[in-house]
Chain A
């Protein structure tokens, strides 16, 4: 079974559970949001490959984890949609729809369908209860992380600690969830579940910090600059500037919300001050921790190799390999 099977399965779950025609059509629109992530079939998708490979690493094959991967795919999509809505950065396929409809789609994908899929899996009642509780606890943590994120937009005083904590609470905990649900499904003891969480958290944090660098230094249009988001590279630069130089940089950040020239100036200044390299080290610290957690797990091959490839894909210093 492949990633395409997971996606087809996710669509089938939506058809199975959502009988209202209008609601089903709304969710079909929502699932167009997976296209950007899945067009490249060699891509490393944390919401598919982390649960499948953690399970395979513990139990030897992925088959029983496919419903879990469908659930985590829908969950990821719901979270992604809410994030885009909060950032005012929705993809074009949402254009005919009101914000209220989009919120409803996201809530269904986060708070109803994954739970139904998990509750219908052929596993013990105890395992189901544990997985559902884990899901709820993580959504609470992620909501706190998201609140930090939205209240920090445009901030003049964000610290590096605050940014890393917010990323860990959101993307870190999301990826930790993908790993721990798989560990619970595999019947792993608590020590293994905790180490899977550690692996997922560090991989997710490293991945988001790397993605934030991509948004700033590589993307044609920086969503973060447009939204006033305070990501790691910006927080690092702001906190390293002498006090008397901060107002000018904050003014530049404000202008960069609408002006391309200001964005280019920000990238030049950050590169000249070694911020890209400093971000690369910080991402690598998290990658190093993810590798250490993975080494403790002693997973079966090829799952262990595949998860190491995911870490290497995030790392600035490792060779990228195709999954």
Chain B
């Protein structure tokens, strides 16, 4: 049975090619392309003061790697147009008498316009602006205190900025977004690709009508299903190895866990996913009845339903709204949690991960779906 399936699969060469290429390609494209760091924010400036101070102030933005300077504008109307055309995502308006007021020791207010279409980026951009303002303010305060109170630089410095924050980043010491992204991506690609492969293979049987041969043969249901699954599991396992190699070699993601255990657990998860699809499909086959199999109707629900199942698993890992494949989803959560628990008990602070807690947060605290998907892998990173 498995042999027959294998032969059929290899005959469809385009299919085979895509089966191996797809996950690898996705990993590369998304790993390099999906960039969540907020940098090079295009911005424009209206400088109503044109003084030394204002120029120095604006230089800090122009030279910052977080901002990408696009030019001076004449007035707010131009800014309006630029923002709407999405040529810029931020704008700074320096008021008149900027220098005058600062020298006299008075506060000034600088207007910042931000494009709010991407709320996350808006927040982060706001943070950058505030940080640059803070730094500039501190410098001005220093000068002011030295002039008006006759303090030394050191004394003024203490008054202006006495409190520092020592931050220690745990579990991802260099805070590389690739470290959290790539494991998630591997999970993501495999999770989408494997059920798809299996589903397509199984339904192909239905389409060509050779399913009748199976019905009328002595092959039992269990044999049929296992036979069908085997080649695809093989393909998936190969893919797992390839992707793991890519993650560690190409993206330099550190792997701190036990490889064999990871491999087997992954294999088990794969099995669950593969097993999930035929279960759905079998249900569909029974429901459709035996009347007309040649209209290819059985195929569409599978290849469309697969998509929401995959994406829903990603989106709703808080168990908020069950997707069409709740069993697979629940099992995945369970395995992931088992993983991270086991690793945490075994590992140290540096080696273990805080993956499990993401499951337990309330809905509002959830983050990007990709991170959710990475729980079991992160348990090993």
Pair from one complex: no
